[in-house]
């Protein structure tokens, strides 16, 4: 199984995987931008790790505000308290939380059988939709701390069992190291104080595939224990949304979720175009695009054959692609990503945040 820390860093530290021409500012502006991010949601110590041009590409919303107070419902005396921390997920959701132009990831939890009630505290850095199956009747309460990109959501549990708390209220998100971004290993005194005791289990993962709680065993989508053997022995045949091209970036593929079953404080809507590689595969399967080679910086290039509403979310950094638009077809919406739309007749870049660089020839 490939190291998905690389994929996570590429998604959050876009400058690491982008060529110089793909930066939104000049080299002279990079130091200024980096300085502006020193007091964002990541701590000064964490920002020090990413000083220079890598810092300016962080999409960290807003100035660093005062940390919210951690206020939690009381856990019953008999409840087993489990904290689950993750940076990212290896599965995509068919449902968008909040912004349809941002990737929502599916983080899958399977509740193991048992007699002791479970009180779960969950946190992931990216937009996370936590899905539950198994012995869900054991769940007494689920507390979801919002990630850096709000909101978060839960599927598979009734709304009365779910509570949301603001980002950073109870758990520090991540630590930045030279080798990548990892869940914070720091103690969570605010969480312990609000609970009145320390959690019985603290489960921490770089990327969450499917996890059994409370044991913390890592499962594949079919419920097999992969703690020891990993993915090395598997050679499944995947098609469509679960194709090998999708599994390359997201080994757990695409998780089908009913929007009506999602509990969230934000807007919930089914993707019309799936995010990232799954969206490309969807557009290919629907006959709306076809691959025609590679473009600038060896990014894949696709010809648009039929209209579609928007470029798949998350096609940035190493995952950026180029779309060639023939005359007579409407321009799809391009938001947030580094992918671009190029007019077939002239080669002019007409949609995408990197069009100035493309059209200047840099």
Indicate whether 50 pLDDT > 90: no
Which range is least confidently modeled, 55-64, 186-195, 263-272? Answer: 55-64
pLDDT at 207: 79
Query: Average pLDDT in the 35-56 region?
Result: 38
End-to-end CA distance of the chain: give it in Å, rounded: 36
Query: Average pLDDT in the 96-106 region?
Result: 94
Region of 10 on the Ramachandran plot (φ > 0 left; ψ -120 to 50 alpha; else beta):
alpha
Q: Which residue did the predictor score with more confidence, 219 or 293?
A: 293
d(CA 201, CA 262): 26
Residue 324: strand, helix, or coil: strand
Indicate whether 301 pLDDT > 90: yes
User: Which tokens go with 154?
Assistant: 């839960």
Q: Which residue did the predictor score with more confidence, 49 or 276?
A: 276
The mean pLDDT value of the chain amounts to 78
Indicate whether 239 pLDDT > 50: no
pLDDT at 196: 95
pLDDT digits (tens, 9 = 90+) for 126-174: 889 999 999 999 999 999 999 887 789 999 999 999 999 999 899 876 6
Buried b or exposed e, range 129-164, using 16+ CB within 10 angstroms: bbbbebebebbbbbbbbbbbbbbbbbbbbeeebbbb
Query: Average pLDDT in the 317-344 region?
Result: 94
Max Cα distance, the chain (Å): 70
Q: Which residue did the predictor score with more confidence, 9 or 259?
A: 259
d(CA 100, CA 173): 23
DSSP states along 214-273: TT--EE-TTS-B-TTTTTTT------GGG-HHHHHH-TT-EE---GGGEEESS-EEE-SS
Q: List the one residue out of 139, 140, 166 whose CA is nearest residue 152.
A: 166
User: Which tokens go with 77?
Assistant: 């005396």
Read off the pLDDT band of 241 (50, 70, 90): low
Read off the pLDDT band of 219 (50, 70, 90): confident
Q: What is the CA radius of gyration of the chain?
A: 21
């Amino acid at each position: 199984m490939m190291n998905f820390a690389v994929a996570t860093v590429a998604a959050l530290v876009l400058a690491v995987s982008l060529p110089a021409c793909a930066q939104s500012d000049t080299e002279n502006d990079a130091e200024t931008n980096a300085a502006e991010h020193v007091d964002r949601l990541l701590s000064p110590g964490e920002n020090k790790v990413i000083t220079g041009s890598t810092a300016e590409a962080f999409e960290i919303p807003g100035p660093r505000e005062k940390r919210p107070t951690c206020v939690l419902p009381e856990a019953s005396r008999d409840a087993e308290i489990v904290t689950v921390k993750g940076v990212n997920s290896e599965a995509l959701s068919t449902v968008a939380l909040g912004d349809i132009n941002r990737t929502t990831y599916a983080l899958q939890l399977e509740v193991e059988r048992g007699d002791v009630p479970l009180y779960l505290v969950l946190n992931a850095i990216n937009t996370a939709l936590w899905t539950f199956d198994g012995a869900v009747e054991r769940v007494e309460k689920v507390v979801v701390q919002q990630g850096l990109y709000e909101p978060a959501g839960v599927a598979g549990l009734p709304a009365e069992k779910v509570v949301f708390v603001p980002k950073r209220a109870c758990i520090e998100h991540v630590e930045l190291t030279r080798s990548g971004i990892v869940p914070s290993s720091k103690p969570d005194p605010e969480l312990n104080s609000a609970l009145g005791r320390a959690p019985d289990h603290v489960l921490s993962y770089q990327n969450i595939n499917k996890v059994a709680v409370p044991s913390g065993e890592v499962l594949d989508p079919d419920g097999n224990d992969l703690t020891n053997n990993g993915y090395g022995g598997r050679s499944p045949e995947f098609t469509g949304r679960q194709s090998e091209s999708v599994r390359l970036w997201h080994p757990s593929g695409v998780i089908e979720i009913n929007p009506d079953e999602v509990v969230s404080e934000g807007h919930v809507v089914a993707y019309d175009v799936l995010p990232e590689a799954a969206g490309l595969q969807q557009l290919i399967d629907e006959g709306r695009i076809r691959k025609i080679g590679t473009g600038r910086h060896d990014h894949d290039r696709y010809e648009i054959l039929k209209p579609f509403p928007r470029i798949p979310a998350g096609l940035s950094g190493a995952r950026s692609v180029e779309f060639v638009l023939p005359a007579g077809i409407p321009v799809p919406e391009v938001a947030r990503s580094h992918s671009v739309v190029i007019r077939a007749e002239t080669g002019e870049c007409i949609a995408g945040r990197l069009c100035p660089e493309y059209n200047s020839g840099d």
